[in-house]
Copies of this chain bind each other. A is one copy, B any other.
Amino acid sequence: MENIELYMNRIGQQARAASRAMARADTAAKNQALQLIAAAIRRDADILRAANAKDLEAARANGLAEAMLDRLTLSDKAIATMAEGLEQIAALPDPIGEISNMKYRPTGIQVGQMRVPLGVIGIIYEARPNVTVDAAGLCIKSGNATILRGGSEAIHCNQALAALVKEGLAGAGLPHEAVQVVETTDRAAVGVLITMTEYVDVIVPRGGKGLIERLIREAKVPMIKHLDGICHVYIDDKAEPRRALDVAFNAKCHRYGTCNTMETLLVARNIAPALLPPLAELYRVKDVELRCDPEAAEILAGYPLLKEAVPEDWDTEYLAPILAVKVVADVEEAIDHINRHSSQHTDSIVTEDYTRAMRFLREVDSASVMVNASTRFADGFEYGLGAEIGISNDKLHARGPVGLEGLTSLKYVVLGQGQVRQ
């Protein structure tokens, strides 16, 4: 292959040119492309499985861990889900061109805002072939061009999927360069992608902490990303106990490996002796290890998987059946602990007290703040966005689950009749 920098720059130029055509593409053409891709995926399921088999074979030969193989595998169900996902995106309203807040000004001009695509979106992900199709679908619908850089383990599968995406784009009269899959597994390609600010408007990294930390250090293009999901539930002493048990159990045990899983439980001193023992009964069934501060440890003495918490526990994303537990005085101490230790992803209070609920909502500085609900709800589908390209912990631009709107921007539109500035 030619020099990586030249190769990536050519991809960038093509993406920039395609982004102009995508920005003016009408809704019908974008939806048609999505439907054609979905149909092609169903039609070529055998070809996709064969490409996936090649990836899996290479991955096994390279001794990839079982969990990674699992994510890499394109099952019949995964293929069907990809196709359905595209059809769901086609059914969503088109965000592009929407004009809002048009108002007359005293000078006689009318001023409002129009929603427009960001331009070119670079997506960097690991060995999950479904991301190729999900991301392509979201970018097409939002009128963006995209450059996809998937994990090298999925290269055959990603190329097979890319061919179907290009077929669908061309079938709808859209430029096939609107979705490009980087065809080299050379890691240097990522380094170029995240620094070519003239061709790429935003990077969406999807992957583990190691990948994202590296990208943060090296990127020049802005990113929509989250690094950690250190989520908290605070059980207030005015909590309805049934709700507290439900939320605290679900937030930890519904799934362990997701970023919106609770990692630290805070319990008000007044309710801790009554609440922690029945809650521990629930966790015991799931073999959840509890890392407790001295007060919680005293209340839970005898719990089989009890450990004393060390300071690092308050800043750890376990992604496992492990939970840090701390007794706090009140909502004030809870908010203070959360604003210090949370990764600003998702935090929830369980309480029936109106003033404390309002205070928690206002003062906890996280992308999602909840009252009497499981942190597991922090998700684009659950929030009604229809689809999600990722979750952002940043405050600029998009915050929380990022759907189609997060891939757009607003420009000002001014309508006049020849007005000039006085």
Chain B residues near A118: list those with CB within 8 A: 395-396
- Report if A140 contacts B (CB, 8 A): no
Given known pairs A114-B361, A367-B412, the reply for A421 and B254 (CB within 8 Å) is yes
- Report if A109 contacts B (CB, 8 A): yes
Chain B residues near A384: list those with CB within 8 A: 103, 105, 111
Chain B residues near A174: list those with CB within 8 A: none
- Report if A382 contacts B (CB, 8 A): yes
Name the residue of chain B whose CB is nearest to the CB of A245.
B418
Name the residue of chain B whose CB is nearest to the CB of A364.
B411
Given known pairs A114-B361, A201-B395, A399-B412, the reply for A243 and B376 (CB within 8 Å) is no
Chain B residues near A382: list those with CB within 8 A: 105, 107, 109, 111, 421
* B409 pairs with A396, CB closer than 8 A: yes
Chain B residues near A97: list those with CB within 8 A: 362
Residue from B247, B401, B411 within 8 A of A366 (CB atoms): B411
In A60-112, the 8 Å CB interface with B consists of: 97, 103, 105, 107, 109, 111
* B377 pairs with A116, CB closer than 8 A: no
Inter-chain CA distance A240–B416, complex, in Å, is 12
Chain A 123-166, CB within 8 Å of chain B: the 1/0 string? Answer: 00000000000000000000000000000000000000000000
- Report if A15 contacts B (CB, 8 A): no
Number of chain A residues whose Cβ lies closer than 8 Å to a Cβ of chain B: 67
Chain B residues near A301: list those with CB within 8 A: none
Chain A 365-378, CB within 8 Å of chain B: the 1/0 string? Answer: 11111111110111
Chain B residues near A373: list those with CB within 8 A: 109, 414-416, 418-420
Residue from B374, B411, B414 within 8 A of A377 (CB atoms): B414
- Report if A119 contacts B (CB, 8 A): yes
A284 to chain B, nearest CB (A): 19
A154 to chain B, nearest CB (A): 28
Inter-chain CA distance A119–B365, complex, in Å, is 9
* A420 pairs with B250, CB closer than 8 A: yes
* B372 pairs with A421, CB closer than 8 A: no
Name the residue of chain B whose CB is nearest to the CB of A109.
B373
* A370 pairs with B421, CB closer than 8 A: no
Chain B residues near A412: list those with CB within 8 A: 367-369, 378, 383, 399-401
The complex is assembled from copies of this chain, and their number is: 2
Name the residue of chain B whose CB is nearest to the CB of A374.
B420
* A361 pairs with B413, CB closer than 8 A: yes
Chain A 214-230, CB within 8 Å of chain B: the 1/0 string? Answer: 00000000100000000
A388 to chain B, nearest CB (A): 12
Inter-chain CA distance A97–B420, complex, in Å, is 37
- Report if A246 contacts B (CB, 8 A): yes
Inter-chain CA distance A417–B103, complex, in Å, is 39
- Report if A24 contacts B (CB, 8 A): yes
A261 to chain B, nearest CB (A): 10
Inter-chain CA distance A410–B35, complex, in Å, is 33
Chain B residues near A411: list those with CB within 8 A: 365-369, 399-400
* B418 pairs with A247, CB closer than 8 A: yes
* B105 pairs with A24, CB closer than 8 A: no
A354 to chain B, nearest CB (A): 11
Q: Assuming A107-B377, A118-B396, what are 17 further A-B pairs, CB within 8 angstroms?
A: A20-B363, A97-B362, A109-B377, A111-B382, A240-B418, A243-B418, A246-B420, A251-B420, A367-B411, A368-B411, A368-B413, A369-B411, A371-B414, A372-B419, A373-B414, A377-B414, A377-B416
Q: Can you list 25 A-B pairs with a CB-CB distance of less than 8 A?
A: A23-B362, A103-B384, A105-B383, A109-B373, A111-B382, A111-B383, A201-B396, A202-B396, A246-B418, A247-B420, A254-B421, A350-B418, A365-B411, A368-B412, A369-B413, A371-B414, A372-B417, A373-B414, A374-B420, A376-B420, A376-B421, A377-B416, A377-B419, A397-B397, A400-B411
